[in-house]
A and B are shown apart, each in its own frame.
Chain A
């Protein structure tokens, strides 16, 4: 008995729709992607639980900021008005980068009227110089 051979069917998967989906996904990613890394400064603010969170004495360098004035003193008794540029110079002269952790502390007192931009400029400056910002909590 002779066997009839089946004709071989040619199977083809339509990948056209597949590519459409892929390109829709690409458009989604192009729209949601942001390549630009944000600018800023990582700041060292002692954590509540750390031993760095201690009472600071009057020998700790302090920065006192109001809406219009900026005071700096290496001790509490030597506070004087200073410009932002001069503060930068003084902090770099103190060589905080190479100092011990406890000697890098800068007490920052900020008045209520100080805008975030002013605070940002001063905190990023202190951090850039290697300082650790101590937040003053009023008792």
Chain B
């Protein structure tokens, strides 16, 4: 008995709408992204009087070793003021600088940084963690 072969159906999935959804998601992520600038190893300071900060225009980190990083790039203390000034000029005038310092460092490590930032007229926000104890 001859077997009749079924005609193969050509299935086509419309991918155009999937691309649309994907690009909508991309736009969403681009708008809400705050790219990770700080990848230095630090133990953040704990405090009771902390709240949510506005997004940083410039990020300054002093790591465990006392090394200074501006926007993820290592700089010397003498160049800090100029670097922050340039970055703030490129951005908004009332730009805020997030300062994240390792909790174990002592005054000679962090005070010159605060003085340098204050010297260029930066609005400083100290970054830390909520002390839950």
Which residue numbers of A lie inside 8 Å of B, CB to CB? 15-16, 18-19, 22-23, 25-26, 29-30, 32-35, 37-43, 45-49, 110-117, 119-121, 123-125, 127-128, 135, 137
Contacts and interface: CB of A to CB of B under 8 A. Distances in A.
Nearest to B18: A19
A63 B126 CA distance: 19
Interface residues of B, number: 54
Nearest to B42: A116
B107 interface: yes
Interface stretch (B1-9, B45-53, B71-79, B83-91): B45-53
Given A18-B19, A26-B22, A40 B125 contact: yes
Contacts of A23: 22
Contacts of A33: 29, 32-35
Contact of B33 (A32, A115, A119, A137): A32
Given A41-B51, A125-B49, A15 B105 contact: no
A38 B44 CA distance: 11
B22 A49 contact: no
Contacts of A137: 115
B127 interface: yes
A49 B41 CA distance: 34
Nearest to A120: B45
A37 B33 CA distance: 11
Contact of B22 (A19, A35, A39): A19
A48 to B, nearest CB: 5
Interface in B86-133: 96, 98, 100-111, 114-115, 118-119, 121, 123-130
A108 to B, nearest CB: 10
B108 A112 contact: yes
A112 B104 CA distance: 12
Contacts of B101: 116, 120
Contacts of B18: 19
Interface string B1-40: 0000000000000011011001101100110111110000
Nearest to A124: B49
Contacts of A48: 118-119, 121
B112 to A, nearest CB: 11
A59 to B, nearest CB: 23
Contacts of B22: 19, 22-23, 25-26
Nearest to A18: B19
Contacts of A127: 49
B106 A112 contact: yes
